[in-house]
Amino acid sequence: MSRYSVWQVLKNGFTGQTGWSRVWRDPEPKPHYDVIVIGGGGHGLATAYYLARNHGIRNVAVIERGWIGGGNVGRNTTIVRSNYMIPGNTEFYEFSVKLWEQLSHELNYNVMFSQRGQLSLFHSPAGRDAAARRANIMRSNGIDAELLTRDQVRSRVPHLDFSDSARFPIHGAVLQRRAGTARHDAVAWGYARAADRLGVDILQNCEVTGFIREAGRLVGVETARGEIRADRIGLAVAGSTSHVARLAGLDNLPIESHKLQAFVSEPLKPLLDMVVAFAGVGGGHGYISQSDKGGMVFGGDLDLYPSYAQRGNLPVVEEVAAMARMLMPCLGRVRLLRHWAGIMDMSMDGSPFICRTPIDELYLNAGWCYGGFKATPASGWCFAHTIANQAPHDLNARFTLDRYAAGLAIDEKGAGPTPKAH
């Protein structure tokens, strides 16, 4: 499988595009692997890639119930940022941004990472104090952050509502210039292709239906394509975590599955060259950017009730569209093109798990809440390290299942043990 290059593009342009090979293989399952990663989304594929690339473990299978890119990795608003402030999250997400900055070159695949910057608006003097605190914590951890005034925000995004009658008057914003967006399906395809080049088997349409136990140990999985055995098993299935973990005998995980809707408008001429996010005083939460195709991509809060449905409902459509209209009044007559939902595995404190489980040779990657897409590279890096070494990387040492029992919650939002509130 050749590397992509400008010469390959030119050559195939002159030969009718007939010289391209499959992006990744479609192999039959082997009877045994060193590691099985359940879940062919961004985190599962990144884990398999880093197992092969960083640790030399290439006898790896990624097992996906559907097709690559059909889950949460293709159902999000593609935002990448590291504006976190709680120890554990701060270092982890900044490391992820650094991996994003080199990812296209690393994978030899254009993931279309655009560091267009993100503005996080605040709407009151109290909001300014909280924003200044966050910016100072970011800077003290080597993360870029700038506190902008109202006029500085207006000079960058004049289409926002700066009127005296604005529901949430804009007092300023925190700017992270290195934040931005990436193409979600390109990330999945890039990791899949790179992992395949290193010998990883990607098994699509291979739903896990059970686990194989011998002498009290997990030794493999039962799938729609037969039994597959492995020395170690990693679980990275996002909103389906509780269901699949229960098949392995791991019950009562501290997560709930909720759906989060995203939206895209009809294409427009260039209007917004950065990501804008806001959290209104007393309620309201939204974020909006413009895709390379011109569509306005936006989202808001969860649907606030547990669900496994990859579709939304009309009350949330109305609520989030109203918030987008409130933020940028010029969108009032723009038509909504489509909307969809991803299934979020919401943890009790809003922070993830990358750890060993109480079941020998079963490893967990879950609880990503809103942070899953932006965490993809660091999540795969740390999960691969944890599986390969049977011990956590320094960056995920806090992301354990037992942190609640020890009183070590990583509550970035300060919402307490209420999953939907995060």
Q: What pLDDT does 369 receive?
A: 94
Task: Provide the H-helix boundaries in 249-365.
Answer: 314-327
pLDDT confidence tier of residue 136, bands split at 50, 70 and 90: very high
Q: What pLDDT does 168 receive?
A: 86
Provide CATH 3.50.50.60 ranges for the chain.
26-78+184-254+349-421
DSSP for 333-367?
A: TPPEEEEEEEEEEEESSS--EEEE-SSTTEEEEE-
Q: What pLDDT does 218 receive?
A: 94
Number of C-alpha atoms within 13 angstroms, CB side, residue 236? Answer: 34
Is 153:160 a contact under the CB 8 Å cutoff? yes
Is 61:33 a contact under the CB 8 Å cutoff? yes
Alpha-carbon dihedral 333, 336, 342, 344, rounded to 10 degrees? 10
Q: Is the pLDDT of residue 402 over 90?
A: yes
pLDDT confidence tier of residue 312, bands split at 50, 70 and 90: confident
Q: What pLDDT does 282 receive?
A: 56
Residue 60: strand, helix, or coil: strand
**Distance separating alpha carbons of residues 366 and 354, to the nearest angstrom:** 7
**Distance separating alpha carbons of residues 287 and 314, to the nearest angstrom:** 19
Q: Is the pLDDT of residue 2 over 70?
A: no
Q: Is the pLDDT of residue 281 over 60?
A: no
What are the backbone dihedrals phi and psi of residue 346, each rounded to the nearest 5 degrees, phi first? Answer: -85, 120
pLDDT confidence tier of residue 421, bands split at 50, 70 and 90: confident
Contacts of 277 (CB under 8 A, 6+ apart): 79, 118, 119, 120, 121, 286, 287, 288
Q: What pLDDT does 314 receive?
A: 85
243-281 b/e (C-beta count within 10 Å ≥ 16 → b):
ebbeebebeebbbbbbbbbbbbbeebeeebebbbbbbbe
pLDDT-wise least confident of 27-36, 79-88, 159-168: 159-168
**Distance separating alpha carbons of residues 397 and 347, to the nearest angstrom:** 17
Is 361:287 a contact under the CB 8 Å cutoff? no
Number of C-alpha atoms within 13 angstroms, CB side, residue 148? Answer: 21
DSSP for 90-107?
A: HHHHHHHHHHHHHHHHHH
**Percent of the chain predicted with pLDDT > 90:** 82
Please state whether beta strands 32-38 and 217-223 pair in parallel, antiparallel, or not at all (unpaired).
Answer: unpaired
Residue 144: strand, helix, or coil: coil
Provide CATH 3.30.9.10 ranges for the chain.
109-178+257-346
**What one-character DSSP code corresponds to residue 221?**
E
CATH 3.90.1150.10 is held by the domain 109-178+257-346 = no
**Distance separating alpha carbons of residues 310 and 294, to the nearest angstrom:** 24
Please state whether beta strands 217-223 and 226-235 pair in parallel, antiparallel, or not at all (unpaired).
Answer: antiparallel
Is 261:320 a contact under the CB 8 Å cutoff? yes
**Percent of the chain predicted with pLDDT > 70:** 99
Which candidate, 275, 250, 256, 406, places its Cα nearest to that of 328?
A: 275
Q: What pLDDT does 164 receive?
A: 87
Please name the CATH architecture into which domain 26-78+184-254+349-421 falls. Answer: 3-Layer(bba) Sandwich (3.50)
Helix (H) or strand (E) holding 306: strand 296-306
- Tens digits of per-residue pLDDT, 188-245? 999 999 999 999 999 999 999 999 999 889 999 999 999 999 999 999 999 999 999 9
- Which strand ranges, in their side-by-side order, compose the sheet holding 255-265? 146-149, 172-176, 118-122, 275-279, 285-290, 296-306, 255-265, 336-347
What are the backbone dihedrals phi and psi of residue 192, each rounded to the nearest 5 degrees, phi first? Answer: -60, -45
Residue 215: strand, helix, or coil: coil
- Tens digits of per-residue pLDDT, 316-349? 899 899 989 989 999 999 999 999 899 999 999 9
Q: What pLDDT does 4 receive?
A: 87
Amino acid at 413: K
Q: Is the pLDDT of residue 384 over 80?
A: yes
Q: What pLDDT does 335 receive?
A: 95
The listed range with the strongest mean pLDDT (55-59, 282-286, 299-303, 415-419) is 55-59
**Which of the pair, 1 or 245, is modelled with greater confidence?**
245
- Tens digits of per-residue pLDDT, 49-77? 999 999 999 999 999 999 999 989 998 99
**Distance separating alpha carbons of residues 298 and 323, to the nearest angstrom:** 10
Is 226:220 a contact under the CB 8 Å cutoff? no
Q: What pLDDT does 119 receive?
A: 97
Question: In the predicted model, what is the mean pLDDT of the chain?
Answer: 94
